[in-house]
C-alpha cells in the first residue's frame, strides 16, 4: 500500500511533492500549499486507493527552531483508507506572516470544525470557509493561544508570605 500511494502521488503530482518522509513506519509527504485541493480531489476519485476518511487536521508552530527556515507553520492532514486500513499524512508548510490556505470543506464536511479550531488556536486563515469564527477560546481573548509567542500566563501560587498581595501573573 505504501508503494501504491507513493507511485500514485509521484505520477500525477511529482513536481509538487517536496519530500517524502517515513518515521516509525508512518509515511508522510511534504507538499506545496497550492496542490492540496487537487491532490485530495484525486485521492477521493481514485477508487482503488479508497482514501475517503479525513481523520484530523493538526497545526504546528516551529518558531525559534531551526526548522523555521522552511516555513513557520506546518499543517498536517491525516488521511485514512478504510478498505486498506492504511494511514498516511500530507504536510504543508506556511510562512509566518498571514498564513493562508484553501479550505477542505467542499470535499469533507468534517473539516469544518477542525479548521475552525486550527484558526482559533494557531491563526491560520482558511479561504472559502463558510464560518471562520472562534470556537474554543472566549471572545475577549486576543491572540492565538497555541502559538509559541503566546505565553502560558500562569499565576504565582499564594503561600503564607504573599497571600496578602494580589496574585502575580507570570507571562
Partner 1 sequence: MGLEEKIPDSVILTQLDKMVNWGRKWSIWPFGFGLACCAIEMMSTFASHFDLARYGMEVTRASPRQADLMIVAGRVSVKMAPVVKTLYEQMPNPKWVIAMGSCASCGGVFNNYAIVQGVDRIIPVDIYIPGCPPRPEQLMDGILKLQEKIEKESLKDQHEEWGRRTV
Partner 2 sequence: MPEEKTVTLNMGPQHPATHGVLRVVLELDGETVVKARPVIGYLHTGIEKTMESKLYYHALPATDRMDYLAPMSNNLGYCLAVEKLMDIEVPEKVKWARACLAELTRVNSHLVWLGTHAIDLGAMSMLLYAFRERELVLDVYEACGGQRMMTSYIRIGGLAHELPKDFDKKVLKIVKVVRERLNDYEKLLTDNEIFINRTKGVAVISAEDAINYSLSGPMLRGSGVKHDLRKANPYSGYENFDFEIPVGKNGDAYDRYLLRLEEIRQSLRIAQQAIEGMPEGPYRAHVPGVVLPPKEDVLYKMESLIFHFKIITEGFQAPFGAVYQAIESPKGELGFYISSDGSNKPHRVRVRPPAFVNLAALPRLVEGSLFSDVVCAIGSIDIVLGEVDR
Secondary element (H or E) of residue 5? helix 2-13
Contact by Cβ (8 Å): 34, 17: no
Decide: is 71 part of the binding site for partner 2 (CB under 8 A). Answer: no
Decide: is 134 part of the binding site for partner 2 (CB under 8 A). Answer: yes
Decide: is 130 part of the binding site for partner 1 (CB under 8 A). Answer: no
Q: Which listed residue (60, 125, 129, 132) binds partner 2 by CB under 8 A?
A: 60
Decide: is 129 part of the binding site for partner 2 (CB under 8 A). Answer: no
Count of residues binding partner 1 (CB under 8 A)?
14
Q: How far is CA 3 from CA 10, 142, 144, in A?
A: 10, 45, 39
- Among partner 1, partner 2, none, residue 167 binds (CB under 5-8 Å by kind): partner 1
Cβ-based burial of 154 (10 A; exposed 0-12, middle 13-18, buried ≥19)? exposed
The footprint of partner 1 (CB under 8 A) covers 137-141, 145, 150-155, 157, 167
Amino acid at each position: 500500500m505504501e508503494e501504491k500511494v507513493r507511485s500514485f502521488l509521484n505520477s500525477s503530482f511529482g513536481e509538487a511533492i517536496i519530500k517524502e518522509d517515513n518515521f516509525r513506519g508512518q509515511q508522510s509527504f511534504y507538499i506545496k500549499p497550492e496542490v492540496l485541493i487537487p491532490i485530495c480531489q484525486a485521492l477521493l476519485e481514485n477508487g482503488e486507493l479508497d482514501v475517503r476518511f479525513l481523520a484530523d487536521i493538526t497545526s504546528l508552530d516551529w518558531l525559534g527552531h531551526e526548522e523555521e527556515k522552511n516555513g513557520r507553520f506546518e499543517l498536517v492532514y491525516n488521511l485514512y483508507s478504510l478498505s486498506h486500513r492504511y494511514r498516511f499524512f500530507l504536510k504543508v508548510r506556511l510562512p509566518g506572516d498571514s498564513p493562508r490556505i484553501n479550505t477542505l470543506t467542499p470535499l469533507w464536511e468534517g473539516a469544518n470544525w477542525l479548521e475552525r479550531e486550527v484558526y482559533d488556536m494557531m491563526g491560520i486563515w482558511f479561504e472559502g470557509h463558510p464560518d471562520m469564527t472562534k470556537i474554543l477560546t472566549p471572545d475577549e481573548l486576543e491572540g492565538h493561544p497555541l502559538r509559541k509567542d503566546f505565553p502560558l500566563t500562569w499565576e504565582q501560587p499564594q503561600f503564607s508570605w504573599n497571600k496578602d498581595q494580589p496574585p502575580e501573573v507570570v507571562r
